[in-house]
Structure 1
C-alpha cells in the first residue's frame, strides 16, 4: 500500500497498486487506475514529484500462527510515467531513496544501490505453490523433520513457512502450545526447481 501525504481519507484498497515491478535501475513502477488517489496526487504534486512510502506485507501462504512473515518499507519520490500503461491506467514511478526490511531473518536498512543490484530469488515465483504442495501432499515428510530438532523435544506439529534458494523454514508447535521456527539450510544454494527437488529429497532422507 502507498502512504502519501494528504491521502489519509482514501480507502486502503484505493492505495494498493494493481501491479508492481522493479526497473533496471532499481526504481519501482506501480500501476493504478487513472483516477486513483495516488495518480491524482502525483499529477498535481508541486515540482512534479511527491514523497511516498510503499509498505509491503509478506503473508505466509499456508495456515500458521502469526502468518505475517515480514514487512518492508520503500520510500522515495513518486512521479507519473505517462504512456507506459494501457488506457484507463497510469504507471507511477517511485525513485527509491530508502528501504527498510523487518522479517523472519532480522531487520535491516538496505541502501538504494543494494536494492537496485539485488536479484530475485529463483524460487520466488514458485514459493507459494511449493509450500502449499508440501503442506498438502507431503505432510508426513514435513512432520518427519521434527526428528532433526533434537534440542527441542515434544514437537507436535510442523508446518512449512518459507522457502528460498538457501533453505526451508518451518514453524513448529510443541506440547505446551508454544510456537517456534526452525530453519534447514541446503548444502548449497539451489538454482531452479530441479535443484530444489534434489535438496528436499536429501533433507527428507536425513530426517528419515
Structure 2
C-alpha cells in the first residue's frame, strides 16, 4: 500500500512508499529497464451494506523512481499509465489514458463518506421514502431497508434490501451539483418529490 498517491496533470500516478518497500526495491533494480506494474484500487462503500465493494479499477503501465520527490525514508515512484479498466456499479469498461488525464475530480469526493453517513443516520426515513419514486419496484423499496450507497455531482445511489434480495436505484439530480450548497437544494427536491 502506498503512503500517498497523486495524479499528475499528464495522467501519471505518483506513489510514495517507504524507502525499503518491495515496489521501491524492484524499481531500483530495474534501473533503466521498463518495470511493468499494475495498481489495483478498490472502492468500498463508507456505510454498512451487503456487497460493500462499489468498484475496482486497474491501472497498468511502467514504474520508475522519481528521486527529486523523495523525502527522508521514503521514495516516490511514477506509474506511467498505459491501460485502465474499471468494473463498478455502472458496468465494466476500458478508459483511455488521455481521458483519465483530462478527468476532473467530482466536487463531492472529499465529503462523500461523511455525507452518506449523515444521510443514513439522520435522514433514514426520507431516504427510504425515495423508494416511492420507483414505480413497480416500490413494493420492496418502500417497506424494507434503504441505505445511501454512492453520491456524486449527478445523483444519489441507494441500495434497497429485503427478503434476501437487494437492488440499487439511482436518483439523478435535475442538474449536476457544484458543491455542498447545491447538494442541499438537490436533496430537498428529491425528498419533496418523494413526499408528494
Q: Normalising by structure 1, what TM-score?
A: 0.90
Q: CA deviation at 1:147?
A: 1.4
**SS where residue 101 of structure 2 aligns?**
helix
- Write the distance in 2 (CA, Å) between the matches of 1:91 and 1:151: 53
What is the aligned partner in structure 2 of residue 12 from structure 1? none
Match of 1:154 among 137, 140, 162: 140
Deviations 1:1-25 (Å, cap 9, x if unpaired)?
xxxxxxxxxxxxxxx1111110010
Q: How many residues align?
A: 192
Q: Structure 1 or 2: larger helix share? A: 2
Structural mapping, 1:1-208, within 5 Å: 16-45=1-30, 47-152=32-137, 153-155=139-141, 156-174=144-162, 176-208=163-195
**SS where residue 43 of structure 2 aligns?**
strand
- Write the distance in 1 (CA, Å) between the matches of 2:101 and 2:68: 24
Contact kept, 8 Å, 1:17 with 1:31, in 2: the verdict is: yes
Displacement over 6 Å in runs of 4+: none
Q: CA deviation at 1:46?
A: 5.1
CA RMSD of aligned residues (A): 1.0
Q: Normalising by structure 2, what TM-score?
A: 0.95
Gaps of 5+ in 1: 1-15
Contact kept, 8 Å, 1:48 with 1:79, in 2: the verdict is: no
Contact kept, 8 Å, 2:55 with 2:87, in 1: the verdict is: yes
